Amino acid sequence: MNFSEYLQKSQPLVYQTFSNALKNGRVSHAYLLSGEAGTPLLETAIFLAKSILCEHPSPLCDDTCKYCSRIDHRTYSGFRIIGEKEGTIKKEEVEDLISSFSKTPLEEKNECIYIIHQVENMTVEAVNALLKFLEEPPSYVHAILTTSNIAKVLPTIISRCETIRLLLASRKEVVAQALANGASKEDAELLSYFYNNGVSIPDIAKEEDYLAIKKALLQFLGALPNGKDPLYLVSEKDIIPVLKDKKTARMFFDMLSLALKDVISLQEKAPILLSSYAKIITPLERLPAIMNCLLETMKVRNLLELNISSGILLEHLIYYFAKENRL
């Protein structure tokens, strides 16, 4: 299944709205894509940008023309993404965008498209810099904004955009979609908690960060029944180096929380959700304080936002696990 088919099947509102706009030559100057965490907001925004430029859309982009390729490789001069990397979006980034896109396009297509991903992360100064350009852009400029928390987006931005909401698929649907697109059961089950688009999961499963975090998780779970010393050893040698920033640390602690929830399910004789990890989760069933460990893991995960070292947090967690379970 390609991304166009995914939109047609799982996001019919997005597919129909944009298809009609392209067919009728009425593409809006600004769209706001809204969806819960995990929905493929950035992937959809990029796909819609390609659809505007595509040489032979049917009705959306076919992902084969030179413009589709240039968007993918970021070589189309009239295309810009702000907010692709995690963090605050600052006024200077917006001013640079406006300065660049206020000039006549050099491209044959005579179209410029910018994406601001997670627009709720903009500073007040950045929003103020954007508003006039968003309301009165040059005729050749299109904006595609995204948000996973529309309640935090200022009404002045919402009122200047055509808002389209992405639907949240069930986890069962996402797993089935990922498996159909070639993902392993292990990756489909685990990544379906973080991504609501099964089409993208096979590619995400090949990413270096994900592979390293999954390996770290399995090492932690494997060492846990053996006590504090093996946990400290594997943590120092193999896990802490993987937790190189907030994003990777969040994913590790979130994955650990999922595994601990399944241990609790086993203790309560309920079905587990990460069934392909049963072999490594089952030995943890004998530990008496898994619920406390889960709550502490969730607490530690939140402490990442206070800029506490992920290594210090992990060492604290190991001490807590060992103490609570008398390891």
DSSP 115-170: EESSGGGB-HHHHHHHHHHHHS--TTEEEEEEES-GGGS-HHHHTTSEEEEPPPPP
Rounded Cα–Cα distance for residues 82 and 105 (Å): 19
Tell me the C-alpha distance between 226 and 109, whole Å: 63
- Per the listing, tokens 């893991």 go with 297
Question: What pLDDT does 62 receive?
Answer: 87
For 52, residues 6+ apart whose C-beta sits below 8 A from its C-beta are 22, 27, 111, 113, 142
Residue-level pLDDT, tens digit, the chain, 327 residues:
789 999 999 999 999 999 999 999 999 999 999 999 899 999 999 999 999 999 988 899 989 999 999 999 999 999 999 999 888 999 999 999 999 999 888 888 889 999 999 999 999 999 999 999 999 999 999 999 999 999 999 999 999 999 999 999 999 999 999 999 999 999 999 999 999 999 999 999 999 999 999 999 999 999 999 989 999 999 999 999 999 999 999 999 999 999 999 999 999 999 999 999 999 999 999 999 999 999 999 999 999 989 899 999 999 999 999 999 988
| Token pair of 98 as six digits | 């406006």
DSSP string, 36-49: -TTS-HHHHHHHHH
pTM, entire model: 0.82
pLDDT of residue 327: 83
Task: Strands of the chain (E only): list them.
Answer: 30-34, 79-82, 112-116, 141-147, 162-165
Supply φ then ψ for residue 260, to 5 degrees.
-65, -35
Position 324 scores a pLDDT of 93
Domain 3-165 has CATH 3.10.20.30: no
Cα distance between the two ends of the chain: 48
Distance CA 73, CA 244 (A): 26
pLDDT at 86: 83
Per-position b or e across 74-90, b if 16+ CB within 10 A of its CB? eebebbbbbbeeeeebb
Residue 113 per-residue DSSP state: E
